[in-house]
Structure 1
Amino acid sequence: AAAAPGAGFSETADFLKVFQNEAVKPTWYEQKLYHMYDSTDYAGNLFNCPTVAYSGADDTQKQAADMMVAAAKREGLTFAYLIGPHTKHAYEPETKKELIKEIDALVQKGRVVMPQEVRFTTYTLRYNEDAWVKVDGLEKHWERTDVKAVRGDDGITVDTKNVSAFTLSQPLLTGNRGNTKMTIDGAAVETLPPSGKFEWTHHFSKVDGKWKHVHTVGDGTAAKRHGLQGPIDDAFMESFLMVKPTGKPINEKVGAWAETEMNRAVDAWRKQFRGEAPIKADDAITDADIADHNLVLWGDPSSNKVLARIADKLPIRWDGANVVVGKDTYSAADHVPVLVYPNPLNPKRYVVINSCFTFREYDYLNNARQVSKLPDYAVIDVRTPPSPRWAGKIVTAGFFDEKWQLQPDGGK
């Protein structure tokens, strides 16, 4: 029914400047990836979430709440913000009583399960749903995406930005029978009567610049969708299985790098996420493994049997001589591609090549640094040794487009 944030960072760059006195100099793709976790980008989503924030007046982390208040104001929203006088990183007793009183009052009002109006902002299909609105496709990832949907007596009005497909779902008990008047971005769109007995669901897709009612989400072709939209780190938000190579590598330098990074990944997973990373040899992978897990393939098409099966189906080509990314070619003697992509053996799951989560030892010191460092793909020059920040020298990196294809500018 309500939220009561009281501590933690709300975005990366300014927080590190204030809290760590650190001058952050992100790459262009890191800046885009800040949209994954910067809560300030999503402040508008508090529209239907009553909020009472708290900070100690002398708390360095007050910066985080201040940033959220400012971000909400830019969205035309305000919320209660209580300050504990003469207090650092703790609740001031009297202010805490006031906080509890305000939250209790909001709880008494209860939660509006099916609001008349939804305002939703996102930058990625990983976060794609609010109440009765679900975003199924973006025109371009990591750009601001907005949906405003209003249910009225004369129908439903939807306004969108950077959306290519979306779904509306409501229980029939709302009184809306589903075949009501629908207006999307100022144009009337014809719909069909509801097929469900207890709720109605309508899918909409933008075709040649015009919205149309469609029967299913997607047209069957490869496309970024919720849970299959990248970046590399996203593959580790669901069940994954690391696949260890058993064959001979293309060359010793690349083979040694892959083995070192795989061992580091297993150790890093244990230290950061308090668990054992599951791992199997490439010759032991079963159909069930392919069906149930995102596969993290270490090695190269020569050393890893699973990677050999899919190498010619990936957008980045890798053979004994070269790594080819669009028009750019790198020597396979000392370059390694890392990427995430829908697994050609099971397009409902990811395949990751030669990477774990992409923040490294330098970022362990502050969780505001523990955000995605690499986009959908990169090429690493292994002549530069791995460091606490990078697995080698990043010579190119970028995002695949909404159809999982290479983009000329890498998605800048």
Structure 2
Amino acid sequence: MRPRLLLPLVLAGLAGPSACRPPAEHGVEQRPPPRAEPSAQAPAIPTDAAPGAVCTPGEGRCTSDEVALVCQGGERWVEERCGEGSTCLGAGCVSLRAEGHPPVGLAREALLAPQGEGWLDAWSAVGPLPGPLPEGDATTPPDAGAPPAPRPICAKDGYVEVHEKADSKKGPKPPTHFVLSGQLVSGRAQRVLLAAGVSGRVRISVAGKRVLDATREADPAPFRDETRVPLDLDRGVHRIVVEVEQPTPAPTGFWLRARSPSGGPAPDLLFATAPEATCTPAELLRAEIQKKPTATGFDVSVRPGWIGLGPRNLVDLPHRAELASEKGPARPLVEGTLPAASLGSPEGAISLSIPFEKTGTTDLRLRLGAAPGTEQKIPLVYRGALQKRVLALVDKRASIESSAATRGEKDSLLVHIDGLVENLAQNDPDISWIKRQTEEAEALLASLEKGESPYAGRFGIQRRAYRSPLDGRLQPYVLFVPRAYRPGGKPLPLVVASHGLGNRPEIALRVVTGEAPEAGFNGLLEARHFSGLPDFGAFLVAPWQFGNAGQRHLGEDDVLRVVAELRAHFPIDERRISITGYSLGGTVAFYLPLHYPDLFSAAAPLCGYPNLLGWESIRKAPHTPWENVLLAKRYIVNWAENGQHVPLFIVHGGKDDPTRSQLVADRYRSLGYPYKFDVQEDLDHNVWDYGYEDGDMIGWLKSHRRPKAPERVRFVTGEWRYDRAHWVRLLGMEVEDKFAEIDARHSKADGVTVKTRNVESFALDLSQLALREGAGVAVDGAAIEGPFAAGMLWLVKKDGAFVRVPEEPSRKGRKRAGVSGPLDDVDRHGRLVVYGTQDPAQIETNRLVAEHFASFDTFAARFPVKSDVEITDAEIDSRSLVLIGNPRSNRVTALFESTLPVRFEPSALTLRGKRHEGEDVGVSFLHPHPRNPDEYVVVHAGVGSAGTLASRHLPRFAPDFIVYDGRITVQRGGHVLDRRVALDGGFFGIDWN
């Protein structure tokens, strides 16, 4: 089952025993009950009645579940009592008898109402049933054999999990399916949008009519509201059936809720399940639990509430908390009542400050509901003196910030302390780790308070951090400091170790030094406890890389910033910075050196994946013209020319498709570049034990030194961001759908000669070359006018030939390194995600999409989110913006609309002179920030809500702009469109036109 982040609070008695009792047949009516005579006490006249009239004929409303007020003849309000087989909902009494074979009667007490986010999360389920879903309109179990008894599925977190992941180790299993059912009760004739997100094959039928048949993979997880189906409901009861098939071993499930076309929840809508398999409100109640350690115990906050189905009429919630005791009575803490209106909100939290008299584990027992209620146990582990020591460190945060330590030292110490607090909050059982880390933090702080550098003179493993400007959060990395290190002393080599998928940085250091843990790569114990690492006389560093961002922009940026941190604070030999990695990290070790050839002196990629064009998901999919351009630019084999001074040591297992790595090795061979390609025929993916045995690879990496000013520089680039190598810098390309190439040489005899291709402007750093007086410069066979001083030489192509210009040519308003696109280039910028709130019908959608673009599937980046009314002018101007919603719904989109390349209409949008009509049409594009030329504005917006929602289905490789409609939602994730359809897409011109 999928792990839950929120702990459930079970409240069995909240709904009372009647919620579980099947309705009496005599109380179910087939038609609305006759109007009752007016009660003796005249009902109150609604306050919103029109002036000059008592009421409007046909008008009605509920005063309780059993009583309605109806307008009689436009003259008076009449009280109508609903019979046992009906309930008051909307404008009057509604029969609870559902048509069917046989007809189903619902009890008023069994009705649930959508609360919070409104998920339909309570179902009567039959299954698993053998075989795939039957074709046709069958929505009941097959006749063969007695079907299993229905059981309730109660999904308090909103997502309804149906099939668990199947065990595929024993071979393929035949598919199975479930049939889930419930009853929608509508108090009015209305159109609703049935919003679903599914994994597996899911069919939904309402009142016997199929409304959805969709198949989606489980990875990435389903999006909420990814499919919206219009559904017309009459007043009354409508049977809803959800059939779920597991066609692959992946788990299945769905999100489902009913929304109003005008935005927000659908009005006057209730839900019920079969009497023999129901979910009580208690089983649907969830709670957010937060524990904060204090010096004497814990502060605990518990926020109960429903985000899906809950009680129709919320009532105040009694609660009682006490500490369990092994000897003697429990110690009472608090007793009270949460107001019904506050449930699920920050104001509806139970706040407890719990002091402890002694160390050890004690259960916090929390009872919700009137006695006897139901109890939730929350274990608390108090560490006594150790906990006091950790909290004493927390109290030193202000002094750490005000100290003379470097920013990196402060951030490293703060993340160290934050980790200890988290260990205590999570009842981490690894007490030896907490003690050791506490002692280390105290020692670091003691040095700081003496005015010393807290990390000076410390060798071996150091867990460090820096604050990333991308998402504003502290990013950890792990550093090994050799004993040869002396502040201000001899520069030492640096080796970057890039981890495998799902690994921790500590594991990467262990692996590359030949100390790979035998128990596995993903365990906390293996990352925390090891007897040290061999000292190779070099700095070793393992970046976190935002989790599994790998070679993508986030991961690449993290590596570069970690290297910059070390270069700024340690004596790093600038010409001996190398990189290695395995699996995902092996891919990183292929990519980064060829993107930054003047940073790395050597690279050792093990069992990597540089064969992008051979990946099955890309090889088997059709490609648009702009996808072919992007794939060529992201295919690292095309960058091999940059590796002239970056020797490679490639290791691959013979049973692990070594042709993946061979593509780069073959290209190096054809170019005459230095490389080793070691294929171990008897090994599979796990070549690291062999490749890193005895740390020999570290020795090989250390032995290589980057040339200071190589006599020849071959530089190619397909993306503006990667614009330099050694003493050559690209400024502008002539066209951007092809690679730019610069082949530059220098010698005392011949001066500088350069050959270019697809280059509009570039620069040469002559200060690195020590040219003798009178040396010449020739570009593409034509001499450049001298003389040449030891500085930057700026060259621009005019009328087909390069000419010298006195200063760096301006690229204002033009594409350049850092502001060039495509869409994912924003990943190298700090950003704020801004969702629009100006149109009530789009607020919910805009917020959903903002949450999506604020995070990355398996990556650890989490970007800040604000509404368009919360963001300040200073925030608008200071960073890149990701704007969610069209100008009608987002005031910042409207603010910039005149400077952006798209125009929105009520029923269409126009981009590049092409008009696209439809509520489900959307556009995603990237453009220079109108107020800050170093930043971007990214817009994800639709003509209506459906188009905005569709933006979550973009592939990873998207151009500068892409226009789409609902057909893009057939697939999630992936690098290319594949089965998805785009209406338009491509790149803006070099002048952003």
Q: Distance in 1 between matches of 2:984 and 2:690?
A: 54
Kept in 1, the 8 Å contact 2:611–2:661? The answer is no
Q: Distance in 1 between matches of 2:635 and 2:804?
A: 33
Amino acid at match of 1:213: R
Displacement, 1:280? 1.7
Matched, 1:37 2:634: yes
Matched, 1:134 2:749: no
Equivalent residue number for residue 369 of structure 2: none
Give the length in aligned residue pairs. Answer: 381
Q: Distance in 2 between matches of 1:109 and 1:78?
A: 11
Kept in 2, the 8 Å contact 1:239–1:292? The answer is no
Aligned CA distance change for structure 1 residues 220 and 34 (closer, same or farther; 3 Å)? closer
Aligned CA distance change for structure 1 residues 330 and 22 (closer, same or farther; 3 Å)? closer
Displacement, 1:151? 1.1
Kept in 2, the 8 Å contact 1:338–1:352? The answer is yes
Kept in 1, the 8 Å contact 2:833–2:853? The answer is no
Equivalent residue number for residue 751 of structure 2: 155
Unaligned runs of 5+ in 1: 364-370, 406-412
- Mean Cα deviation higher: 145-154 or 287-296: 287-296
User: Alignment identity in percent?
Assistant: 26
Deviation readout 1:8-27 (Å, 9 max, x if unpaired): 2103221x23xx79623332
Amino acid at match of 2:822: P
Displacement, 1:277? 1.8
Kept in 2, the 8 Å contact 1:13–1:24? The answer is no
Deviation readout 1:300-340 (Å, 9 max, x if unpaired): 11221111121111222223353112231112644222100
Aligned CA distance change for structure 1 residues 109 and 41 (closer, same or farther; 3 Å)? closer
Deviation readout 1:171-219 (Å, 9 max, x if unpaired): 35x422697411111111124543xxxx611221112322121233343
Equivalent residue number for residue 11 of structure 1: 611
Kept in 1, the 8 Å contact 2:829–2:935? The answer is no
Equivalent residue number for residue 206 of structure 1: 797
Kept in 2, the 8 Å contact 1:137–1:165? The answer is yes
Residue 236 of structure 1 is aligned with which of 801, 824, 827?
827
Equivalent residue number for residue 367 of structure 1: none
- Mean Cα deviation higher: 342-351 or 392-401: 392-401
CA RMSD of aligned residues (A): 3.2
Q: Distance in 2 between matches of 1:22 and 1:121?
A: 25
Amino acid at match of 2:759: V
Kept in 2, the 8 Å contact 1:338–1:354? The answer is yes
Residue 778 of structure 2 is aligned with which of 183, 188, 191?
183
Aligned CA distance change for structure 1 residues 118 and 360 (closer, same or farther; 3 Å)? farther
Aligned CA distance change for structure 1 residues 175 and 220 (closer, same or farther; 3 Å)? closer
Equivalent residue number for residue 403 of structure 1: 991
Equivalent residue number for residue 659 of structure 2: 63
Q: Distance in 2 between matches of 1:122 and 1:156?
A: 21
Amino acid at match of 1:240: R
Displacement, 1:111? 2.1
Displacement, 1:378? 1.1
Residue 331 of structure 1 is aligned with which of 887, 893, 917?
917
Equivalent residue number for residue 739 of structure 2: 144
Displacement, 1:130? 0.8
Kept in 1, the 8 Å contact 2:794–2:809? The answer is no
Unaligned runs of 5+ in 2: 1-600, 942-947
Equivalent residue number for residue 868 of structure 2: 282
Q: Distance in 2 between matches of 1:191 and 1:258?
A: 58
Kept in 2, the 8 Å contact 1:319–1:332? The answer is no
Equivalent residue number for residue 215 of structure 1: 806
Aligned CA distance change for structure 1 residues 212 and 58 (closer, same or farther; 3 Å)? same
Aligned CA distance change for structure 1 residues 166 and 291 (closer, same or farther; 3 Å)? farther
Equivalent residue number for residue 236 of structure 2: none
Matched ranges for 1:43-58 at <5 A: 43-58=640-655
Aligned CA distance change for structure 1 residues 210 and 384 (closer, same or farther; 3 Å)? closer
Matched ranges for 1:96-111 at <5 A: 96=692, 100=696, 104=699, 107-108=702-703, 110-111=705-706
Displacement, 1:255? 6.5
Deviation readout 1:59-115 (Å, 9 max, x if unpaired): 23x2321111223344444521112241111237666569937x7356335221221
Kept in 2, the 8 Å contact 1:317–1:324? The answer is yes
Matched ranges for 1:349-388 at <5 A: 349-354=935-940, 372-382=956-966, 385=969, 387-388=971-972
Aligned CA distance change for structure 1 residues 74 and 332 (closer, same or farther; 3 Å)? farther
Aligned CA distance change for structure 1 residues 287 and 205 (closer, same or farther; 3 Å)? farther
Displacement, 1:393? 4.6
Give the greater-gyration-radius structure (CA): 2
3-state SS of 2:814 partner: coil
Q: Distance in 2 between matches of 1:293 and 1:128?
A: 23
Q: Distance in 2 between matches of 1:312 and 1:133?
A: 38
Kept in 1, the 8 Å contact 2:922–2:951? The answer is no
- Mean Cα deviation higher: 346-355 or 144-153: 346-355
Kept in 2, the 8 Å contact 1:124–1:142? The answer is no
Kept in 1, the 8 Å contact 2:606–2:691? The answer is no
Matched ranges for 1:270-309 at <5 A: 271-309=857-895
Structure with more strand by fraction: 2
